A and B are shown apart, each in its own frame.
Chain A
Amino acid sequence: MVENRPFLTFLTHLVLIAGVVLVAFPVYVAFIASTHTREVLVGGMIPLLPGGHLIENYKQVLSASSAANGLPSYMLMVLNSLGMALIITFGKIAISILSAFAIVYFRFRFRLLAFWIIFITLMLPVEVRIIPTYKVVADLGMLNSYPGLTVPLIASATATFLFRQFFMTVPDELMEAARVDGSGPLKFFRDILLPLSRTNIAALCVILFIYGWIQYLWPLLVTTDPGYYTLMMGLKRMVAVQDGEVQWHLVMAGTILAMLPPVFVVILMQRLFIRGLTETEK
């Protein structure tokens, strides 16, 4: 702030509060809806204050009896989403850090070619090659399996670039010292590079966990067995019934629960999240 203008400061807070309210509004209404009975919600104007059915509704969503209409139980979908997000996170980090290590610390034939092949992944998001990728996964017998859900999403150019850039800033002396001491590349990687990359790995974990958790199109394509449904698919299916029969109170309770893990990750690890976001996207 350059000069003191009370009115402008007041306006600033006003803009921010309006922004926060606007951003929170849909989630607030969803939360309110999740605390009422279905009859209240469909009976005209929905209330704007919480009702008394919070515990009852959430219990019903989380209980095993939530399995209905060809959907698995909510907890199974939570596990599937969690499994998918974690495998994608660790898979992406593992293969990216190894390839960045190879590209920065070795000279070999086809190094540039390898780099470009990785770069190309940026230009081929799943959304643009739905059918042929589905076909490959089907031919490999990976439909309805964790590998099918995760492996095709694990290739990552951005994570590789992030590690590459970071490795370039690691002083050469560290590696020279390691070599003088007689340690080979793998020992150098494990004892020096990996510990140094801790913050970058943590920041990537936050971003990639969110990425894995919110996947929708890919699970929709490769799973037909309800045992592998993820939360995002399940929620969509809960509303894909006749308009008059949507169990809004349960859908909204399920929606609120499905938002919690990634939103908590962002709020609790805000610093890492911002770091991960601004560094991977550039």
Chain B
Amino acid sequence: MDTKRTIFPNRVLPYLLLAPQLVITLVFLIWPAGQAVKSSFEREDPFGLSASFVGFQHYARLLTDPLYLDSLGRTAVFAVAVTALSMAFGLALAVAVKRLMRGGRIYTTLLVWPYAVAPVIAGLLWWFLFNSTTGVLAYFLGQLGIRWDHNLNGTHAMILIIIAAAWKQVSYNFLFFLAGLQSVPHSLIEAAAIDGSGPAKRFFTIVLPLLSPTTFFLFIVNVNYTMFDTFGIVDATTAGGPAQATNILVYKVYNDGYLGLNLGSSSAQSVLLMLIVVVLTVIQFRYVERRVQY
């Protein structure tokens, strides 16, 4: 990692400049993370006065706990569904905007704003639409003979949070796909057109392969988003229910630790989540962004 060719000679100043960032990081991020690791190997007595080392007991219990494995599976379904849905819509809209000679900016404006909507509000909006007493969509589904009830039906609840999470994320994917499309060389497309290949063929044989770095980057970012930034959506709509159907990992940590006060298990869950973030971050930095060198 480089500095400038010439540098300032001060000895103390750089530490002072770094101090605020480092103090906050150490106190509010690294220390708590360390505490989570520590208490994931310990059991506290009922009064919280002393703790004894129990090794991997919490982990062993978690990984054989059907509820935890179930939550893991549901998180995977949720993440894959949201990622696929929001990326497909984002790509379709980006391709459409790229195709336009003019008017692209207006469409962009009208498409990007959901990024600024809080997850908890996204949850409230879709919950309102699917609510059995007031919901417009619930009403239409009823007309089609589908009795929508996300309070009782786990599949309905899962579909609800998938739609809300994907709705919010489309704008993000749209913007990155649009940026990716803009860097596809126009000469390639023209050459292919002159050779007689139509729009669909050009898209699948030239544009899509050239977009693959963007696609991979977005895949990782979207998985990260669905796993960690959707707490508000779940809390505003289903609160993990019915019967654990939407109890994704982040929500379970909160539920077991903050509400259930099961510290050992919650810490072990935190540590496993951290491992997932570490893996995702490493993949993102090692394989996705070769252009950025740190």
Interface positions of A (Cβ within 8 A of B): 1-3, 5, 8-9, 12-13, 15-16, 19-20, 23-24, 26-27, 29-30, 33, 41-42, 45-46, 48, 94-96, 98-99, 101-108, 111-112, 114-115, 117-125, 127-137, 151-152, 154-156, 160-161, 165, 168, 172, 175-176, 179, 184-186, 188, 210, 213-217, 220-221, 232, 235-236, 239, 243-244, 248, 251-252, 255, 258-259, 262-263, 265-267, 270, 273-274, 277-278, 281-282
Contacts of B232 in A (CB 8 A): 214, 216-217, 232
Contacts of B116 in A (CB 8 A): 210, 213-214, 259, 262-263, 265-266
- Helix, strand, loop or mixed for chain A's interface? helix
Question: Is B32 a contact of A108 with CB atoms below 8 Å?
Answer: no
Checking B27, B101, B128, B274 against A128 with a beta-carbon cut-off of 8 angstroms, the contacting residue is B274
- Residue total for B at the interface (Cβ-Cβ under 8 A): 104
Question: Is A102 a contact of B18 with CB atoms below 8 Å?
Answer: yes
Checking A118, A123, A129, A265 against B32 with a beta-carbon cut-off of 8 angstroms, the contacting residue is A129
- Using A23-B114, A114-B18, A236-B236 as known contacts, list a sample of 8 further A-B pairs with CB atoms less than 8 Å apart, ordered by residue number in A: A1-B101, A23-B111, A26-B125, A123-B281, A125-B228, A131-B266, A136-B28, A185-B10
Nearest CB in chain B: distance from A11 CB, A? 8
Interface positions of B (Cβ within 8 A of A): 1-8, 10-11, 13-15, 17-18, 20-22, 24-33, 35-36, 39, 89, 92-93, 96-97, 99-101, 105, 107-122, 124-129, 133-134, 136, 139, 167, 170-172, 175-176, 179, 189-190, 193, 199, 202, 217, 221, 228-229, 231-232, 235-236, 250, 253-254, 257-258, 263, 266-267, 270, 273-274, 277-278, 281, 289, 291-292, 294
Contacts of A99 in B (CB 8 A): 17-18, 20-22
- Helix, strand, loop or mixed for chain B's interface? helix
Checking B109, B128, B250, B289 against A270 with a beta-carbon cut-off of 8 angstroms, the contacting residue is B109
Q: List 14 A-B contacts (CB under 8 A).
A: A15-B93, A33-B128, A99-B18, A99-B22, A103-B18, A129-B274, A132-B36, A161-B294, A175-B4, A184-B10, A214-B120, A220-B235, A266-B116, A273-B112
Checking A8, A111, A123 against B274 with a beta-carbon cut-off of 8 angstroms, the contacting residue is A123
